Chains A and B, each alone.
Chain A
Amino acid sequence: MLYLLRRLAGFALTLLIAALVIFVLLDLLPGDPARFILGINASADALAALRLQMGLDIPAPARFGNWVWSMLQGDFGVSHTQRAPVAKLIAERMAVTLPLSVFAMAISMAVGLPLGILAARHRGKPLDTALMVMAQGGVAVPNFWFGMLLTLLFAVTLRWLPPGGFTPWYEDGWLALRGLVLPSLALALPQAAILARVMRTALVDVAGQDFIRTARAKGMTYGEAIWRHGVRNALLPVLTILGLQFAYLIAGTIIVENVFYLPGLGRLIFTAISERDLVLVRSATMVLVLAVSATMLVVDLTYALVDPRLRERRA
């Protein structure tokens, strides 16, 4: 319980400091954000109006406080270029980015973990070598380039799936799903290669431990011993990597969205950068940081749940 509270406090603190870093970078460093946004040819009236809209007339610490406080209430400010609440804009884009990362994660687990277990069970044999050579290649493939190759094969040559673009869920759920198949695969397979390697190493590691020998001595077959006792122990390092991967998948979607012309969070951010929409960039990056940190938190808590030893040591 104490561990949970401490971890939650750490999470909140990390977020608060992250918010401070983003605020200092985007609100203080540009000097006058209104001037930064409107450019040097802006009229004095326009500048004054924007300053008022952004609340620049109040001192910076109070502005930071206001920003954090309103974010806690779900208010992310108003984008002056899109003339819409930032929370609404981000929510729309999350309808693409979030399912994309979740699908990619699911695929990479469904592919990577069984292959890793398979390789470990055939350790040192040709199947293991073949799988690990494939994994070595998979780790080295940039996901966005892999996306291009997938498009070439499945969208252009075979014509099974759309090459890009996205139909909103509310218009046609099936089409929306089909639009996410190739992007998810592009994100998932390099991750699956990493997962397979970690899973294999972890299992091989566990297989040499005393408790597996004890289980064998009790009459279990090697497979049973690994399955009943090995996998759960081997999952600990795998879990750490899974958490890191999901965090980077969320960030990675921003790159892969570009290959498939998906209207996700990444494209929203790029438009915001080119239009110098500081309010939008500030909140969108904060949402990304929140997503990454929350994933890390969930992993840490799961870790403690799976491994009681950890709970006691840290508390």
Chain B
Amino acid sequence: MNWRRLLDHPSLALGLAATLAFALLGLASLIWTPYPIADIAISRRFLVPDASHLLGTDHLGRDMLSLIMAGTLTSFTVGAAAVAIGVGIGVPMGLVAAMWGGPVDWVAMRISDLAFAFPSVIIAILIATLIGPGATNAIIAIGIFNIPVFARVARGGALALSSLDFIGAARLAGLGKAAIAWRHILPNIMSLIIVQGTIQLSLGILAEAGLSYIGLGTQPPATSLGLMLRDAQSLFLIHPSLSLLPGLAIVLIVVALNIAGDGLRDALDPRLRRQELA
């Protein structure tokens, strides 16, 4: 897509710009934060925002801006890794189901049903029972939840394409099922996958926040937006800003991603305009 087309879709440009801004804010935390996030200074706790601490400090005297930067990075990393798992396993599964059909399709769809029966909270509970909580735990839990979503998107897209002439032509040209799936179907369902990927990324960021909030996700000394909310919970009646800021950050990131996703859907494939949130 060239830049001129991007400007034809102002909401897409806005959503992408905002998403990019948050992603860069998170990435910046790798090399620089205003204060180290492990920098505990009780004497400086509950500071109101001023020039030295733009967003104030938390109950341990840590700089809120630094925490939010690092937390944003965690949110994006966990969400993106979970999308990668979903795409990496789900898309091939959906393509195989659509191309081979029959019993193969049946088995793939039953696996997908099974995965739907395990919301990420339940998977996170099972993993936490076995090996304890952690960010990896959240990635696996959300990733497993993403698999059937992408499998269904890929299968649906592939089935819709498979009756078209150019697929028939490819078959006549002697291409095998795997080659057709890879060379002709995958490029054509890429826009579907990208749009779904944006949606799942925003859902994954929400899910990560939830899992960390109940203690099944990211663990200290690492931080995440959900973990910040967990820390702030017992204090939020006295110091509401400690809960307001991370929550607001989550809302803004997710809104940015959703706007970008809606815009992408319209820009990549106007025909999809009608299938909102399906």
A60 at the interface (CB under 8 A from B): no
| 24 chain-A/chain-B pairs, Cβ below 8 angstroms | A14-B110, A15-B117, A18-B117, A26-B129, A30-B130, A136-B258, A141-B247, A142-B250, A142-B251, A148-B233, A148-B236, A149-B247, A237-B278, A258-B233, A273-B125, A273-B129, A278-B129, A281-B125, A281-B126, A281-B129, A292-B116, A292-B118, A292-B119, A296-B117
Q: Chain B's nearest CB lies how many Å from the CB of A265? A: 11
Write the nearest CB–CB distance from A190 to chain B, whole angstroms.
9
Closest A residue to B215 by CB, please name it.
A270
* Total A-B pairs, Cβ < 8 A: 133
Report how far A22 CA is from B215 CA in the complex, Å: 21
Contact string against B for A residues 102-144, beta-carbon threshold 8 Å, 1 for contact and 0 otherwise: 0000000000000000000000000000000000110111111
Provide the residues of chain B in CB contact with A197, threshold 8 Å. Answer: 276-277
Question: Does the CB pair B121–A252 fall under 8 Å?
Answer: yes
Question: What residues of chain A lie closer than 8 Å to B233, measured between beta carbons?
Answer: 148, 258-259
**Secondary structure type dominating chain B contacts:** helix
B114 touches A (CB below 8 Å): yes
Q: Which residues of B contact A (CB under 8 A)?
A: 110, 113-114, 116-122, 125-126, 128-130, 202, 206, 209-210, 213-215, 226, 229, 233, 236-237, 240, 243, 247, 250-252, 254-255, 258-259, 274-278
Contact at A25–B213, with CB atoms within 8 Å?
no
In order of increasing CB-CB distance, the 8 nearest A-B pairs are: A140-B254, A251-B119, A145-B247, A201-B276, A251-B121, A140-B255, A293-B117, A255-B210
A10 beta carbon closer than 8 Å to chain B: yes
Contact A285 B126 (CB under 8 A): yes
| 7 extra interface residue pairs, beta carbon distance < 8 Å, beyond A29-B130, A156-B237 | A25-B130, A145-B229, A148-B243, A201-B277, A237-B278, A258-B213, A285-B126
Q: How far is the CA of A247 from the CA of B259 in the complex (A)?
A: 26
Residue of B at shortest CB range from A285?
B122
Per the bound structure, the CA–CA distance linking A35 and B121 in Å amounts to 26
Please measure, in the bound complex, the distance between the C-alpha atom of A26 and the C-alpha atom of B126, giving whole angstroms: 8
**CB neighbours of A194 from chain B (8 A):** 277
Instruction: Please report the total number of A residues contacting B with Cβ < 8 Å.
Output: 56
Inter-chain CA distance A149–B245, complex, in Å, is: 12
A145-B250 contact, Cβ under 8 Å, with A241-B277, A281-B129:
yes
A26-B129, A144-B229, A288-B122 are contacts. A201–B250 as well, Cβ < 8 Å?
A: no
Min CB–CB distance B276 → chain A (angstroms): 4
Q: Is A266 an interface position by the 8 A CB rule?
A: yes
Residues of B within 8 A of A163 (CB): 237
**Secondary structure dominating the interface of A:** helix
Residues of chain B contacted by A188 (CB below 8 angstroms): none
Taken together as a complex, chains A and B put the C-alpha atoms of A239 and B120 apart, in Å, by 22
CA distance A255 to B124 in the complex (A): 12
> Which chain A positions have C-beta within 8 A of B214?
254-255, 258, 266, 270
- Residues on A with C-beta less than 8 A from B129 are 26, 272-273, 276, 278, 281
CB B58 to nearest CB in A, in angstroms, measures 15
Does A269 interact with chain B (Cβ within 8 Å)?
yes
**Closest CB of chain A to B39's CB: distance in Å?**
26
- How distant is A89 from chain B, measured CB to nearest CB, in Å? 16
Interface hits, A238-283 → B, CB 8 Å: 241, 247-248, 251-252, 254-255, 258-259, 266, 269-270, 272-273, 276, 278, 281
Q: In the assembly, what is the distance between CA of A30 and CA of B214, in Å?
A: 24
Give per-residue flags for A48-64: 1 if the beta carbon is below 8 A from chain B beta carbons, else 0.
00000000000000000
**The one of A22, A152, A251 that contacts B240, using a Cβ cutoff of 8 Å:** A152
Cα distance A26–B122 in the bound complex, in angstroms: 13
Q: How far is the CB of A212 from chain B (nearest CB, A)?
A: 15
Does any Cβ of B come within 8 Å of A205's Cβ? yes
Contacts of A247 in B (CB 8 A): 116, 119
Kindly provide the distance from the CB of A39 to the nearest chain B CB, expressed in whole angstroms.
Answer: 14
- Chain A residues contacting B251 (CB-CB under 8 Å) are 137, 140-142, 145
Please give me the residue from chain B that is nearest to A244 by CB atom: B116
Please indicate the chain B residues that have their CB under 8 angstroms from the CB of A266 in the complex. Answer: 214
If A25-B126, A139-B254, A156-B237 touch, does A198 touch B277 (CB 8 Å cutoff)? yes
Alpha-carbon distance between A18 and B278 when the two chains are bound, in angstroms: 26
User: Which A residues touch B117, using CB under 8 A?
Assistant: 14-15, 18, 289, 292-293, 296
Give CA–CA (A266, B211) in the complex, Å.
Answer: 12
Assess the B202–A248 pair: CB atoms within 8 A.
no
Given known contacts A18-B118, A254-B121, A285-B126, is B206 in contact with A142 (CB within 8 Å)? yes
Which residue of B116, B213, B240, B255 contacts A137 across the interface (Cβ within 8 Å)? B255
Q: Which residues on the A side are within 8 Å of B226 (C-beta)?
A: 142
Residue of B nearest to A269 (CB): B125
A201 to B278, alpha carbons, bound, how many Å?
A: 10
> What are the residues of chain A within 8 A of B118 when measuring CB–CB?
18, 21, 289, 292
Contacts of B110 in A (CB 8 A): 10, 13-14, 17
- Tell me the smallest distance from the CB of B211 to a CB of chain A, in Å: 8
Across the interface, which residues of A come within 8 angstroms of B114, CB to CB? 14, 17-18, 21
Closest to B254 in A: A140
Q: CA separation between A205 and B271, bound complex, in Å?
A: 13
